Amino acid sequence: MGLLERKQKTFYRKTKKGNIIKIVREHYIRDDIWCGLDGCGSCEMEDAILEVHNTSDSTLVPQPHHLMIDTNVALHQIDVLCDDSITDIIIPQTVIQEVKHRSLPIYKRLRDLIESSAKRFYVFSNEHHSECYVEQEAKETLNDRNDRAIRIACWWYSQHFKSAKQSVVLITNDFANCMKARTLELKAFTMQEYVASLKSSPGLLDLVANLDKDENEELIQRACIYPPHLGTAEINQGVKRGKLHHGVLKTSRNNFLEANVLAEGFAKSILIQGRQNLNRALHDDLVAIELLPEEEWSTPSTVVIDKEKQEEEKEGDSEDEGDDENTLTEEQKLLASGRGKGERQPTARVVGIMKRKWRQYCGIIKKNEITDSIRHLFIPADKKIPFIRIETRQPDLLYDKRIIVAIDSWPRDSKNPKGHFVRVIGNIGDKDAENEVILLEHDCPHTKFSESVLNCLPKLPWIITEKDEAEREDLRHLDVCSVDPVGCTDIDDALHCRKLPNGNYEVGVHIADVSHFIRPLTALDKEAQNRSTTVYLTNRRIDMVPDLLSSNLCSLRGNVDRFAFSVIWEITRKAEVQSSRFCKAIIKSRGELTYQQAQARIDDSIMQDDLTNSLRNLNKLAKKLKKKRINAGALVLASMEVKFHMDPDTDTVVDIVAKQHLETMSMVEEFMLLANVTAAETTLQHFPDCALLRRHPAPPQSNFEPLLAAADSQNINLDVTSNKTLAESLNVATRDNNPFFNSMLRIMTTRCMMQALYFCSGTLEPPEYYHYGLATPTYTHFTSPIRRYADIIVHRLLAVIIEADRTYPELLDSKKLADLSQHINYRHKMAQYAGRGSAEITAIASLRGKVTEFDSYVLFLHKNAIQVLVPTIGQQVTLYLDKRTRKKDDKKKDKKKSPEAMEVDEEITPTFEFNDKELYVKCGDLVLRPFDHLRIQLSVDASDVQHQRVVCQLVHPVIPGFSVPSVSQDTQEPKLKKIKT
């Protein structure tokens, strides 16, 4: 028959402003909704999804059957549902709606499972089914109504499937729901019960989430480590009254027992110290906090406690609950010992979690000394995350593997959260496994491009048509060339310069016209938007767009015709811009030059060809442009960047190359900056409310405090009043006896900076557009559309301005553009972190199996450690000032020691005095301050499988009882090589 009844559903919704609005929707009831079973004689359907089963693998349900899940299972047991052995699942529409409302990430994973033909997950529209739709009863909660709707749907299936000799089993972790289902004579089990009954999938039990029940009398009677969390209503009331505050919790890099929360109304972040005050909150959780009495306020800890976590890791998993009390006591003593003498800051405790940021975590499991135990300790790769207790019945298969674990709960009586195993990534040390860990930990999309994305690509052979030539400006007669790093294949930009009859110069920057190939709202566009940026690891590149575009059709390669989006200026000899224009063009690059090759052309006076003279003129103008920028207050900062040359066969480091500073690098940079500024000014002029810009906020004064203290310790006065005064101060801050001093100062200054951010012009006032680092009122990104999605949006806006393309609603929607900006900012930040993480593990790999000496410089001082910068490998390492006693089993070993295990006679124990006001560490007559030179030995702790901790020992200056003798000549620091031409 079809449509039977039309109902009106009325509900009320609260807006962000607090207003209540009434929403009325029509709801249709039908009698022709399919069951989804292939071979069902009752339903007339086009494409059946569920298969008829002839056997059962379950000892609980010996009859052939299908599973129906409730919302609780969908939310918390998604990892089980993702397993290949779980197929033919019925998901009521009620469940889909609830999951979408409660967890968007889980909803997306569930949709992926539904769309997979191999999984055979069928969505049953019970909310529109004439026999399954239920109204909410008086005094019935919405949750109880939904549970009842799921039970009714399961009952309908149990009756409907009888003719096909199939059973239906309801999987629910809700005890009350399970009992009510059984009163309807339905088969109902928890996920744990059902999975345990499967004969052919014993390993599947490890994937089942172990969810603790609500805090009840039994839990209260147990010894609890943590106080209870407040409920949502209590938190909201507390925040409204001003008794509580809220913000995102950020765990310290140097101290996993310390965190900060930036809350509204506070100039500085609020300090959280100690495991109990953190109260089961994890990094990035949105938490509710309560300020402690002012007499209990504290100062940030001056001790590095990361090593304590490493020691705990080595000791293994203790089953003794009494050890938890001892650990907590030791941690409190350690925090107290590191309390500084500076100004106390507001200190608080976490009283509730408003929003969890739990995700899946990569790491390894620690081998349990109890052979038959199923309890194991999972050690996350992220040091900010505590160890996680999991249960597994297949530990031998997981040792020496990188695995993924998800957190299920964190009971009050457990020092660590509890979780479950998800999947194996690969072997520890395997190149692909280690790369995947970095990408997963930083949430970088890295799967292969889907078929729908690849279908959006142009077909080969690709040619430029007469229509293309008619619509574009032909610039193939110009001497255009690209200048890039060695090995670059995704060439975004090219340049040209020629003299005009009036004595001025015509300068052009030509950018790959990626937006021509990536059309709005296509699958390719959505994928590029999701990725937002190309990710660069030391031995791998994860492209934002498919290789056909990034390294071929969009790449401005030499001697081939390519589409470009060009900006062309008329510039005087004094580098003053007279005019600018944008156009879509066709170019033909005269050459793919490296920075070194371009520099060699400029320096070789014999070469007088048009291309070389073009480069010389570009270089002269670039120097004048840079001088103007610096005079305006632009900062010249520094980083620890080095380049690793890898052997492609063995994946080992064969060379470490210092970042070489050539004039041609600055030449390209200046014109890319000019192109970006011109694009920002143009888009803002035409689209004042929806231009995609990039701002760099001025750092608050508190950000500069560590830098100013370090500079003051060396009698250097830095003026941080503005970017211009800071730049001038940095230019004159030198030390004749320390050639690396100024670079160190600039590196420390870089760490004081705020993050540069994309934003929509309509969401901020013009004074907030300012870019502090570049000293420009407006800025955006236009020059790298192959690897940045923000540039594609800017290209689309410019194309509308020059009437080369049409607009579309999403492009001019300031709210959607603001949301997109936030997404791009997140992806960009994560890609940066992934690149740094890759460089760190590569640097550690270059140290493995040997002891090497390096020159280093003091960066930060703590009570129990000094953090030093090692320019040769581009890394920061920690030199601990305290000496640990060896474990008992180590002392029984042979007295012969490898260089890695070198230990100092424990009878001589030097005393270090730390002064956090004048910022120095003193031992006897020796005083160490920031920027001081140290000679150190580095090796890798082979027993630290997870984090591959670098062991740092002091060689010079010599401190009796602490320093170690220099190693032999063949393990000296490798000379830092420069990139060869």
Domains of the chain: 48-200 (3.40.50.1010), 216-428 (2.40.50.690), 451-692+776-831 (no CATH), 848-956 (2.40.50.140)
Phi, psi of 957 (to 5 degrees): -70, 155
Task: Give me the mean pLDDT over the 933-959 stretch.
Answer: 86
Given a cut of 90, whether residue 981 has pLDDT beyond it is no
Give me Rg for the CA atoms of the chain: 32
Asked if the model's pLDDT at residue 629 lies above 60, the reply is yes
Q: In 418-444, which positions are buried (b, 16+ CB within 10 angstroms) versus exposed (e)?
A: bbbbbeebbebeeeebbbbbbbbbbeb
pLDDT in tens, 807-818: 999 999 999 999
In 3-state terms, what secondary structure has residue 61?
Answer: coil
Non-local CB neighbours of 309 within 8 Å, separated by 6+ positions: 256, 383
Nearest Cα neighbor of 273 from 286, 255, 293, 290 is 255
**pLDDT tens digits for range 201-259:** 878 989 998 876 544 444 444 568 899 999 999 999 999 999 999 999 999 888 888 99
Please state whether 459 falls in left (phi above 0), alpha (psi between -120 and 50) or beta.
beta
pLDDT(901) > 50: no
What are the CA-CA distances from residue 591 to residues 556, 578, 594, 666, 667 (Å)? Answer: 9, 28, 10, 19, 17
Does pLDDT of 335 surpass 80?
no
71 contacts 81 by C-beta, under 8 angstroms: no
pLDDT for position 891 = 39
The pLDDT of residue 315 is above 80: no
Q: Reduced to 3 states, what is the DSSP secondary structure of residue 276?
A: helix
Q: Please state, in angstroms and rounded to a whole number, the distance separating the CA atoms of residues 864 and 879.
A: 9
Instruction: Give the Cα separation of 134 and 93 in Å (integer).
Output: 13
Residues with Cβ < 8 Å from 887, sequence gap 6 or more? 314
Query: What is the spatial distance between Cα 677 and Cα 235, in angstroms, rounded to a whole number?
Result: 46
Residue 908 binned pLDDT confidence (cut-offs 50, 70, 90): low
Q: Which of 16-30, 90-104, 572-586, 712-726 has the lowest mean pLDDT?
A: 16-30
What is the pairing mode between strands 933-940 and 852-861? antiparallel
pLDDT band at 702 (very low <50, low <70, confident <90, very high): confident
Q: What's 315-358 look like in SS3?
A: HCCCCCCHHHHHHHHHHHHHHHHCECCCCCECEEEEEEEEECCC
Paired with 118 in beta bridges are: none
Ranked by mean pLDDT, the top range of 222-236, 361-375, 567-581 is: 567-581
C-alpha to C-alpha distance for 368 and 324, rounded to whole angstroms: 17
CA 486 – CA 133 distance, rounded (Å):
65
Note whether 71 and 149 are within 8 A (CB).
Answer: no
More confident residue, 222 or 527: 527
Rounded-to-integer distance, Cα 471 and Cα 892, Å:
81
Residue 345 has pLDDT above 80, yes or no: yes
**Measured distance CA(970)–CA(872) in Å, rounded:** 17
Residues in the chain: 981
CA atoms of 898 and 760, how far apart (whole Å): 58
The C-alpha atoms of residue 688 and residue 761 are separated, in whole angstroms, by 6
2-9: long-range contacts (C-beta < 8 A, 24 or more apart)?
Answer: 2/30, 2/31, 2/32, 3/28, 3/29, 3/30, 4/29, 4/30, 4/31, 4/130, 5/29, 5/130
The DSSP bridge pattern shows strands 388-391 and 473-474 to be: unpaired
Is pLDDT larger for residue 891 or for residue 188?
188
Report the 10 Å Cβ neighbour count for 280.
23
**Predicted confidence band at 309 (pLDDT cuts at 50, 70, 90)?**
low
Helices 789-801 and 663-686, packing angle to 10 deg:
50
What does the DSSP 8-state code read for residue 302? -
For residues 488-508, average pLDDT = 94
User: pLDDT at residue 907 above 70?
Assistant: no
Residue 10 reports pLDDT greater than 80: no
pLDDT recorded at residue 212: 60
Whether the predicted pLDDT of 888 surpasses 70: no
DSSP 251: E
Residue bearing tokens 């993480």: 837
Q: What is the pLDDT of residues 396-417, one digit of tens each?
A: 889 889 999 999 999 988 888 9
Peptide bond into 688 cis (omega under 30): no
Q: How many helices (H) and strands (E) does the chain have?
A: 28, 39
User: DSSP states of 793-839 as a string?
Assistant: HHHHHHHHHTTSS---GGGG-HHHHHHHHHHHHHHHHHHHHHHHHHH
Helical (H) or strand (E) element with 69: strand 65-69
Q: What mean pLDDT comes out for the span 170-177?
A: 92
Is 971's pLDDT higher than 70? no
What backbone phi and psi angles, to 5 degrees, belong to 586? -115, 125
* pLDDT given for residue 223 in this prediction: 67
Residue 270: HSE in the Cβ half-sphere, 13 Å Cα cutoff: 27
Helix (H) / strand (E) element for 473: namely strand 473-474
In the chain, what percentage of residues exceed pLDDT 70? 91
Q: Is residue 479's pLDDT more than 60?
A: yes
Q: pLDDT grade, residue 311 (50/70/90)?
A: low
3-state secondary structure 490-556: CCCEEEEEEECCCCCEEEEEEEECHHHHCCCCCHHHHHHHHHCECEECCCCEECCCCHHHHHHHCCC
Neighbours of 969 (CB within 10 A): 7
CA distance 314 to 327: 14
DSSP 301: B
719 contact partners, CB below 8 Å, separation of at least 6:
725, 726, 728, 729
CB 838 within 8 A of CB 640: no
Among 74, 422, 418, residue whose Cα is nearest residue 212: 418
Dihedral sign computed on CA atoms, order 198, 199, 204, 208: positive
Predicted confidence band of residue 559 (pLDDT cuts 50, 70, 90): very high
In this structure, of 197-201, 681-685, 772-776, the range with the lowest mean pLDDT score is: 197-201
Out of 617-631, 707-721, 908-922, which region has the weakest mean confidence (pLDDT)? 908-922
With 90 as the cut, is the pLDDT of residue 304 above it? no
Q: What is the pTM of this model?
A: 0.85
577: CB partners within 8 A, 6+ apart = 569, 570, 571, 674, 678
C-alpha to C-alpha distance for 778 and 775, rounded to whole angstroms: 9
The answer to whether 3 and 28 have CB atoms below 8 angstroms apart is yes
The pLDDT of residue 916: 84
pLDDT at residue 20, rounded to an integer: 80
How far, in Å, CA of 958 to CA of 745, rounded?
A: 26
Tokens of 842: 């590569």
pLDDT at 897 over 50: no
Question: What pLDDT was estimated at residue 977?
Answer: 45
The number of beta carbons lying within 10 Å of the beta carbon of residue 295 is: 6
769-795 residue pLDDT tens? 999 999 999 999 999 999 999 999 999
Give the per-residue pLDDT at 325. 67
What mean pLDDT value characterizes the chain? 87
Burial class (CB in 10 A: 0-12, 13-18, 19+), 890: exposed
What's the CA gap between 85 and 88, in Å, rounded? 10
**Using 50, 70 and 90 to split pLDDT, how confident is the model at 372?**
confident
- Among 219-223, 582-586, 837-841, name the one with the lowest average pLDDT: 219-223
